[in-house]
Amino acid sequence: MSRTLKIALAQLNPTVGDVSGNAEKVRAARAEAARLGARVVMLPELFLAGYPPEDLVLKPAFQDACREACEALARETADGGPGVLVGLPWAEEGRLTNAYVHLDGGRIAAVRHKVDLPNYGVFDEKRVFAPGPMPGPVVIGGVRVGIPICEDIWTDAVVECLAETGAEILLVPNGSPYWRDKNDTRLNVAVSRTAETGLPLVYLNQVCGQDELVFDGASFVLNGDSSLAVQMPAFTEAVVLTEWEERAEGWVCLPGPKALLESGDEGDYAACVLGLRDYVNKNRFPGVVLGLSGGVDSAICAAMAVDALGADRVRCIMLPYRFTSAESLADAQACAEALGVRYEVVPIADPVEGFERALAPLFEGMGRDITEENLQSRARGTLLMSVSNKFGPMVVTTGNKSEMSVGYATLYGDMNGGFNPIKDLYKMQVYRLCELRNRWKPAGALGPDGAVIPVNILTKAPSAELRENQTDQDSLPPYEILDGVLERLVEREMRVSEIVSDGFDLETVKKIERLLYLAEYKRRQSAPGVKVTLRSFGRDRRYPIVNRFRDPGGPAFEPDPTLARNAVRSSTEVIDF
């Protein structure tokens, strides 16, 4: 009779630092695994701590809390129920590692440590963890199981070691953040490991928002022939039972559920909703408030807020001045009514003109300029923050990536707020997501079905309405051009000459590059926001504020190999001397 094994996969939403709450989630998952008849329940990387814990993990009291929770869970497995596989920081002999433990029979049956610590992009694990030794398999129900932890499968060394030491199944716990089309990348990496070893692989990811990062779940199981056996959903918690049989060709996972995954714009929208929901809820805000201007950015933010939290937790305020058009007033009201949110109009003439009167002696003899425009934005920011202070809701910031890139935003004005769900979305994508939301919404969204963003918001010329007849294109290139150049400068770090070769005007590219660098000081003071691109501002892209470099836009520089050889020779001579 062939051997069998049942493994429950718990794709769950932890909270960083909530060790007791995360442990309770483990207990609930174990109870569900017992109901399903599983031999063991598997949870994501560093689940007891929450991921990523950043420098919190260096705090001895936090390390103690995680170990105490782990040992309590271990003692509970003496009841004969399912074993537990769970991650936590592990301090021992002066070293702190990213560990994964097998709890069974009332004890900590095995500990494995992450070997390959990522230190690029949003990852900074070498800052806080020491690498572990090459692992061998763990025995679960008589089966030799290899446990490479997240980054350990992105190269072949750890998995090769596990295969050579007798692993029969690979269980991979992950804290893998979302960005557009990330699922294809993960799948390709996992297929590479199964193709090299012939071993089946479980890829289990957490699902949550944590500061700027969103973890989308989308866990899966591959058999040894790289065929997909199970696909768990994205952006939602789930506990799924996987059933395994040993056959002549090795262990095989029987076919299970295969969820359809959101991708492209749908994935980005769902990520923004999850990121906003968890940021608000995990920080225990009662709801959110935002300025609804009648423009596209605040409209999509309002829709995301309602989808994340429900209309009863979203408050929208129109803050008109004398440059606000009747069209914007009508559009904002129509959007609020479509979303079903609380909506109020608070004119800002008195505070703006009060500021101007107070400043008049200082500004005597000077004409009106951007200073007076920014006073309007700062008055709005102050009023929204006052509502937040008085009633408790968090202010949602509504600036898109195009604006944040070139500084088309006002510090302490429209940049005020606690969180920005569209911070990593370029302007043209904001338009696409508005059109998308009018015909679709993600699973679990709490907002109404159907069109929620008035068509007129999508068709009129974008404007900050800070002066008469103003449009964004008075100051900026058309967004189609601006976004194309920014994507090449920010995501791809292309030379100016390369961007010009793609068909963009040289002077336009140089102007955009200059604005991008000049706005760095503003971005350092901006609210956190959801990451959806490969390279977001903040964790991914860390540029100096003081920076005089500008790409001259000439041909690509080719180093002189003769000079390089001379430098090496000269260095050798100095050392020999």
Q: Please pick, among 25, 70, 125, 150, the residue that the annotation labels catalytic.
A: 150
337 is annotated as an active-site residue? no
At which residue do the structure tokens 């696909």 appear?
231
Amino acid at residue number 250: G
Give the DSSP per-residue string, 202-259. EEEE-EEEETTEEEEB--EEE-TTS-EEEEPPBSS-EEEEEEEEEETTEEEEPP--BP
By the 8 A CB rule, do 517 and 541 touch?
Answer: no
What whole-number distance in Å separates Cα of residue 494 and Cα of residue 32? Answer: 50
How is residue 421 annotated by DSSP?
T
Q: Where are the beta strands (DSSP E) in 459-513?
A: none
316 is annotated as an active-site residue? no
Strand order in the sheet with 201-205: 138-140, 143-146, 169-174, 201-205, 220-222, 228-231
Q: Please pick, among 114, 182, 441, 522, the residue that the annotation labels catalytic.
A: 114
Backbone phi and psi for residue 46, each to the nearest 5 degrees, phi listed first: 50, 35
Give the DSSP per-residue string, 126-170. GGT-PPPPPP--EEETTEEEE---GGGGSSSHHHHHHHHTT-SEE
What whole-number distance in Å separates Cα of residue 454 and Cα of residue 444? Answer: 23
At which residue do the structure tokens 């998952």 appear?
29
Q: Please pick, among 45, 125, 373, 487, the residue that the annotation labels catalytic.
A: 45
What whole-number distance in Å separates Cα of residue 511 and Cα of residue 517? Answer: 10
335 is annotated as an active-site residue? no
Nearest to 504 by CA among 518, 483, 534: 483
User: Could you give the residue numbers annotated as active site?
Assistant: 45, 114, 150
